[in-house]
Structures are given as C-alpha cells and as structure tokens.
Structure 1
Amino acid sequence: MSKDLFGKAILDYHLGKYTEDLKTETSISEEDDLPLPYLFRAYAEMPRIEQQALQLSKGKVLDVGCGAGSHALYLQNERGLEVTAIDISEGAIATCKLRGVEDARHQDLMQMEGETFDTILLLMNGAGLCGRLNRISTFLQQLKRLLRPNGQILLDSSDIIYMFDEDEDGGRLIPADMAYYGELDYIVKYKGDVEPPFDWMYIDYNTLQNAAIANGFDCELIEEGNHYDYLARLTEAL
C-alpha cells in the first residue's frame, strides 16, 4: 500500500513545513533529490516542452498526475480553460484544492469513465504512469475512451538509452533480464520513510509511435528537449 510520501511532501511544502526535499531512486540510478519548490513552479520557470504543451491545450482539459497543480492552475487562471486535475495522491489533491484548482479529484486514470475531454495532459513523463510496456495498449485504449472527437493527448517522456554503458561497437549494454530498457522500479523517500517500489517507465519516441499506431492513433513529435526528452501529440486516426 502507498504511504503517499509524495503527497505528504507536497502538502508540507504548501503549509510552510518545508524542511527537506523528496529523495528518489530507481533500479538503474542512485538516490537523488527532487526539490519540492520545483513542483510549485510558475509558467516562466517551466521547461519549454511543458510551456508548449500548455499553449497547445484546448477545450476541456484532463490533467493526469497533476501533482501540486501548477499546470492546472495556469490553464485555469491564465488560459481560462475548464480543467479537471486528477492524481492518485491524496496529499497532492488536497494541495491542489488549497491552491485554488476548482476541479481536483483523488482519482485513478484507469478507473475514470463517463466523461470525455478535448485535451488530455500527461506531463512530467506522464507516460510513465503506464508502468510497463506490456500495458501500453490498455493504457492507450483507456485514454481513447476519455477523448472527445478531434481531441488530443499531449505527453512528454525521455529516451533513457543514454543511461546504459556503451559496448566496443557503440551499442548499449542492456541487461538481459529487462523486457524494455525504459522500465524501472521507482522508490520515493521522505523524512526517513520509504515508499514501496512501484513500476515506472520512460518510453522512447519510436516505441511510443509504434504503440500509438497499433492502437488507432496518429502520433506527432511536437518538440525535442535538450536532454533526450520530447513532447508528442496523439490524435485518433481517421
């Protein structure tokens, strides 16, 4: 069961109880700090890829994995869009409500039904919510059910092939027991407590494009970032 350390940290920061940052670790990387102020960044402080996604958003928006609500607040207050912000973290949703997000819900994307949206946002590696590549079709089909005609899915991710050592021929040394090199076990630590590891995934653009096409989407590369990251747009194929 989740301890919601992510949510506790976000809520602590908002309530003025900020004493330390979140610590994250994965099955292929060492412990690193995730600065809490970064989760509360204003539009001007966001990476170009996120700014681009917010400018491309239109109509009724679903912000998936909304965290502290920074994207939702910009779309709601600066763009005047109707935004539904969802997260599986109770602390994150409590923070969103305190910050003024009008429709913030403690909700699992995969359990949503009965609503549709013009734009579905999956930012800060929102594709990672899929967890494992063998679940990508189920994930994309759920997104399709939530998408209105002529709607769009905007998501960012990264190709983490660079994290693996090169062999003598310039190829990458991927462990034989990895089904896909972008799949990780992700661990969150906060104030001496540790969250049980959970599935996470970074998906390279070509793999995403192939999965999208196989599930009835067109996939467009909108922008590439400075560190193997990218923004993609999925629309239902005609």
Structure 2
Amino acid sequence: MGDIFGRALLDYQHGNYSEDIKTYSSLDEEDVIPLPYLFRNFSEMPKLEQKALKLARGKVLDIGCGAGNHSLYLQDKGFDVTGLDSSSGAISVCRERGVKSLVNSSILSYDKERFDTLLLLMNGIGLAGSLTNLDHFLQHLASLLRPNGQIVMDSSDIIYMFEQDEDGGYWIPDTGTYYGEVTFTMEYKNEKGEPFDWLYVDFHTLQNACEANNLNCELVHSGEHFDYLAKLTKRQY
C-alpha cells in the first residue's frame, strides 16, 4: 500500500477518523501522532511555528507541507506559496483544502523554481536523514533560493532523551553515529510502513554545517523543550 501518512490524512479529511498514527523509533520510543493536530490552525500552532510563518516573505515553498496548514495560512495572507510533499495522499488533502499550488515530489528531486522563503517546519531538516547527508541537503536548499532568499527551519536537540549523570553530562551510546540520527517506522490501522531515517540536529552542529556550506545561520527563537527556530541565508561576498 505505502503512503501510510497520506492515507491517515485522507481518512481524517473525509471524516473517517478512528485512530492516530503510531510511531516506533530506534530510540526505543513508541509514540502517536494525533491526526487532529495535523489539521491545526494558526492559533493552535506552537509559538515557534507562528514566529516562523511571520518571517515568511516573497514567493514561498512549504517543504513537507503535510495537510497544508502553513500553506493555507500564508495563502490567506496573500502569499504566493507552493506546498511540496512526497506523500500523494497529503497532496490530495491539500488540494481538497484549497491549496492552489502543489508539487508531489521529494525535496531532493525538485529543482523547478526559485523562492524567497523555504519553510521546513515540524523539524523539516529531518528530511536530510543523517548528518553525512546534511551538506548535500543544505546545498540543494541553497540552490532553490532567489537572491537574498532565506531558509526558515526548526529542529530539536534530542540530547534530553539520554540519561544524565550527576555532573550534568549525558550518557550517549557510542554507536559511531550522531545521536540525533533516528530511524522511524509508522503504523496506521495495523499496517506498518517502511522504516525511514530522520535527523534532529542541535543548533551548534547546524551552525557548523552552514559555515561549511557558505550559509549564515541565525538563531531566531529557542523553545521550551530543546527546540529552536533558525534562519539560514546565503553568504554575500
């Protein structure tokens, strides 16, 4: 079947909501993604998301647009916004909800237009998958920017998920990989999807990656739970 995320969104959109998406991660965490939360309006969004949307300017690409909450908000404000998602179900839901410009594609396969603002919310940088892919991912994003364009993104430092010792240090298993690399599996209505890699990146690591790729990286907002909002721009020479 595939596209578990899209199927769940379509069910909710069509009034067939009976359960949420379950997630399993390589951190031995089980969790749920409540479907109503994926259809939230501006007033229901966390402050970090609201701040991100207020930073948007010019022509906008909403990467990983999901059910289209951010695209719809910006469209209502008069922005020229395109929603992009690799889930065909998500794109169908966005279309039904009234998002005018949509692209069904992974971000790394997309290079058709240039934008003033790239939005990567709900830890959109996670699409990079791993720290080793982050350079390539940032370079691709930068290639989609118009002159003076910006990338507005959030992420979390998931160090808090590891045990802490009395000195305040953290016990991180020595697996040879960065601790923010997580593999997720989604389950919906007893069907499990394919595992996928996801990246949570702490701000200092993101800053270093931006530095290496000729990008400025500005911390815009720190959330209450190790999360943050950042703005990336190309260096001017």
Q: TM-score range by the shorter chain?
A: over 0.9
TM-score, normalising length: structure 1:
0.97
- Determine the structure 1 residue equivalent to 2:40: 41
| 1:169 to partner: Cα distance | 3.3
Find the aligned partners of 1:164 and 1:68 in 2 and give their Cα distance.
32
Displacement of 1:31: 1.4
Superposed displacement of residue 174, structure 1: 1.1
For residue 229 of structure 2, the aligned residue among 223, 228, 231 is 231
Deviates more, 1:155-164 or 1:169-178: 169-178
Find the aligned partners of 1:8 and 1:114 in 2 and give their Cα distance: 27
Partner Cα separation in structure 2 for residue 29 and residue 68 of structure 1:
28
- Looking at structure 1, the residues matched to 223 and 172 of structure 2 have their Cα atoms a distance apart, in angstroms, of 24
What amino acid is aligned across from residue 171 of structure 1 in structure 2?
A: G
Shift of 1:18: 0.5
Instruction: Specify the code of the residue in structure 1 equivalent to 2:2.
Output: K
CA shift, 1:172, in A, is 1.1
- What is the SS of the residue equivalent to 2:126? helix
Equivalent residue of 2:184, what SS? strand
Q: How big is each residue's C-alpha offset from its partner over 1:128-183, in whole Å with a ceiling of 9 and x where there is no partner?
A: 00000000110000001100000000000000001001234321111111410000
Q: What is the deviation of 1:104?
A: 1.4
Deviation at residue 24 of structure 1 after TM alignment: 1.0
Give the Cα separation in 2 of the matches to 1:148 and 1:40: 30
1:101 aligns with 2:99: yes
Task: Kindly state the Cα deviation for residue 115 of structure 1 after the two structures are TM-superposed.
Answer: 1.0
Structure 2 unaligned runs (5+)?
none
Other-structure match for 1:154: 152
Q: By how many angstroms is 1:30 displaced?
A: 2.2
Instruction: Report the equivalent of 1:57.
Output: 56
In structure 1, distance between residues paired with 2:30 and 2:39: 22
In the alignment, does 2:214 pair up with 1:216? yes
Q: What is aligned with 2:66? A: 67
Count of residues paired in the alignment: 236
Task: Output the CA distance in 2 between the equivalents of 1:105 and 1:15.
Answer: 21
Counterpart residue number, 1:12: 11
- What residue identity is the alignment partner of 1:98? E
Q: What does 1:166-177 align with in structure 2 at a 5 Å threshold?
A: 166-177=164-175
Kindly provide the CA deviation profile for residues 81-133 of structure 1, in whole angstroms up to 9, marking residues without a partner as x. Answer: 00110001010000000000001121111111131000000000001000000
Query: Helix, strand or coil for the counterpart of 1:51?
Result: helix
Deviations 1:178-237 (A, max 9, x none): 410000011111000101211001000000011011101000000011111000000001
Q: For the aligned residues, what is the CA RMSD?
A: 1.0
CA distance in 2, matches of 1:228, 1:167: 18
What TM-score results when the alignment is normalised by the length of structure 2?
0.97
Task: Extract unaligned runs of 5+ from structure 1.
Answer: none
Look up the equivalent residue of 1:227 and give its one-letter code. H
2:54 counterpart letter in structure 1: Q
Q: Secondary structure at the match of 2:171?
A: coil
